[in-house]
Amino acid sequence: MSFLAPLFFAAIAALGVPVLIHMIQRQRTDLVEFPSLMFVRKIPFHSLRRQRVRHWLLLLMRCAALVLLIAAFARPFLRSTALAAVTGGSREVVVLLDQSYSMGYGGRWEQAKDIARGVVRDLAPADEATIVFFDSGAESSTRSTTDRASLLAAIDSAELSTGTTRYGPALQLTQGILEDSDQPLLEAVLISDFQRVGLDSAGSVLLPPGTVLTPVSVSDDSPTQNVSVAGVSVQRDLFADRERAIVTARLANRGSEPVANLRVALELNGRELESLPVSLDADGPATVTFAPFTLEDSAMPISVRADADRLPHDDVFHFTVAPGDVVPILIVGRPGNTGRAANLYLRQALAIGSSPAFAVTERSVDQVTAADVEAAGVVVLNDVGLPAGAIGAAITRFVEDGGGLWLALGENARWPGDDLDLLPGPIEGPADRDGRGGSLGFVDYSHPVFSVFSTPRSGDLTAPRFFRYRPLRVGPETSVLARFDNGDTAMAEHRLGAGRVLIWTSTLDTFWNDFARNSIYLPFVHKAVEYLADYEAPTSALTSGQVLDLSAYPGAADLDVSSPSLVVRNPSEDRIDAGSDGRPGFIDLTEQGFYEIRDSDAGEADPVLVAVNVDLTESNLEQVDPQELVAIVTGRAAGDRSLGEARELAPEDLERRQTLWWYLLIGALGFLATETVMSNRLSQAELDLDD
């Protein structure tokens, strides 16, 4: 027994008060004058009686009341946990239940729920408990409740999510609950399959001192069997003027045993188009390429589904394939073989790639037509000047209407002197660089063309050597994207109307530089063309847990997100709000499958399809030792109850939790009340005797 305010015990001196009341209060201070004490003197024994206590019980009650009162003010508390348990040793229990989709492996989920129910049923009546369901996020049921029924109901109604395992948010929520708790004993029970992938997020969490974290693993030591469809790639080609798609699925066997003749099916709108058998080595990958199929005019919901194994969530991969993901490019070069030779590297670079695919049309400057220009997405004037006449005007109009024009300035790029609309400034004659030639000295990595090279080891733009170029005089308003090491412009961007013009002041072949033989040439050409074509790669699949921004989603940008006629259906065919957390146009993607978004006022227009897949990091069932996790978040080994029981709470906390003063106060009041009743009865009895 300890006391927060032991100085109050100085008031114990007040114990003399009831004693004095007993010893003195009965003795009147009035002096009784009596004629003679002759007879009184003969009875010495009785004359001493005043020093004796008449009612021992009353005295003891008064003293006890005072002692209890003083003890209550001294704010006592018990340091012994066993004793504390008697007076208020109830627990705050947080049950953390992993509902990530990996818990769907075998019967782990039901097993986990059974364990959670058992924990709830084992709670003492005064124990408070909270169920925390977690995957990559965490949410709690009714916090710190003693209502077993609501806890069990919460467990019963819980379902597996499509999220991944992250221990951090759940443990942080637990930390908050335990820190807010008034209970003297803090416990947490973590029920999970303990995947290693979720461990990183737990590093910043430290549960309150004394918390006993008990890990309960529902995984077993048997070999895992899990094949997941890790992704798909779609090759496109044109067949009979129809765009075709060739789907190649990547599969990964994350189990420790090989899998033979696994059936993998390609489904369109839930209807199987083709199925192929595949065999995978233990912990090995495989690919399956399906036969090409013709694309329709709208986005098609495609799924690749492997036969279900013990973890079914990752056995399917949903994606959409939309037609028209091809950028038409018109390359205008010099006539004859020299022109074709100059286009060689450019043509080859553009022939590679499927996302997007580039449909390259080569024309010599004397053969190009206005129709060619209108059909193009991007026009490349490779070492040629602006065609004179109607073609030149068509190109100018093409740019003004939003088209992209790439000018590669070589020896033959002669520009009409009076038509500088497409140029930021006049072009001068070729300039040579001596010796090893020049190199790029400045690159604007923030520009979409060069941003792909911004990270380390993503390409050395200083490697290409430039021996000759066409100096370009540009004004300060012109955006220079790259300069040579001598400060002259290597690449500039010029805007005309709604279109863009990129000017490359050297050639795109190997005549004036060795850029085309460099590894960065291909991505450079692709990025430049995509930029000019204002190309945005369509998103074929999103991951569960992401938030879909409709305004930025290809195909959905035209939808009015605040319109009441906007209908969003999730893969379960339930209509959901098109606004996450009150923000219109943002949709929480929580289910695996295809979300369907349409404007009901738009009639028969095709809906926008959004394919959502589970995060495949969760497919990695590699486990972490639960003790390791416990050690991280508690600073000690799991199940170390001794520390928990002996945890050093601040004396103020102990006193506040035990509230022993309250019992003492009630005891004191009880004594005083009893004393009052008794003393009144005794007084009455004496008065009756006197009468």
Partner 1 sequence: MPTAATASPGARFIDPKVLVRIGSLELAARFVVEGFINGLHKAPYLGISVDFAEHRGYMPGDDIRRIDWRLFARTDRFYVKQFEADTNTNFSILFDVSKSMSFGSRGVTKLDYGRYLAACLSYLSSRQRDRVGIVTFDDDIVERVPPSAKHFDVTLHTLDKIVAGRPGALGPPLYKATEFFKRRSILVVISDFYEEPEKVLDAIKPLRFAGNDVIVFHILDPAEVDFPYDESSSFADMETGQKIPVVPDKLRDEYRELVQDHIRSLSQLCSQNRIDYAFVNTKVPLDHALFKYLAMRHKMTKVR
CA atoms of 195 and 625, how far apart (whole Å): 9
- Least Å distance, CB 58 to partner 1, is 15
Looking at beta carbons only, is 30 or 241 nearer to partner 1?
A: 30
Residue (156 or 686) nearer to partner 1, CB: 686
State the Cα–Cα distance between residues 329 and 326, nearest whole angstrom.
9
How far apart, in Å, do the first and last CA atoms of the chain sit? 51
Nearest to 559 by CA among 585, 595, 596: 585
Give 648 or 686: the residue with its C-beta nearer to partner 1: 686
Residues at the site binding partner 1, with contacts judged by CB under 8 A: 26-28, 30-43, 46-50, 686, 690
Tokens matching residue 500: 């863009």
Tell me the torsion sign for CA atoms 186, 191, 195, 197: negative
DSSP 3-state of 286? strand
Distance CA 577, CA 500 (A): 39
DSSP letter assigned to residue 388: P
Calculate the alpha carbon distances from 364 to 502, 528, 532, 576, 673 in Å: 20, 21, 21, 55, 114
Q: Which amino acid is at 178?
A: L
DSSP-H helix ranges across 354-459: 370-375, 389-400
For partner 1, give the closer residue by CB, 32 or 82: 32
Name which of 25 and 256 has its Cβ closer to partner 1: 25
Minimum CB separation of residue 677 from partner 1 in Å reads 22
Please give the structure tokens belonging to residue 619: 């497919």
Q: Which helix (H) or strand (E) holds 47?
A: helix 44-47
Residue 35 or 125: the one with the smaller Cβ distance to partner 1 is: 35
Whichever of 42 and 436 has its CB closer to partner 1, that residue is 42
Token readout for 128 is 């408070």
Q: Report, in Å, the least distance between residue 684 CB and partner 1.
A: 14
Place of tokens 């002096």: 31
We find the least distance from the C-beta atom of residue 19 to partner 1, in angstroms, to be: 15
Minimum CB distance to partner 1 smaller for 27 or for 261: 27
Q: How far apart are CA 537 and CA 595, in angstroms?
A: 19
How many Cβ atoms sit within 10 Å of the Cβ of residue 608? 23
CB 77 within 8 A of CB 111: no
Instruction: Report the nearest approach of partner 1 to the CB of residue 57 (Å).
Output: 18
Smallest gap, in angstroms, from Cβ of residue 125 to partner 1? 55
34 vs 239, beta carbon nearer partner 1: 34
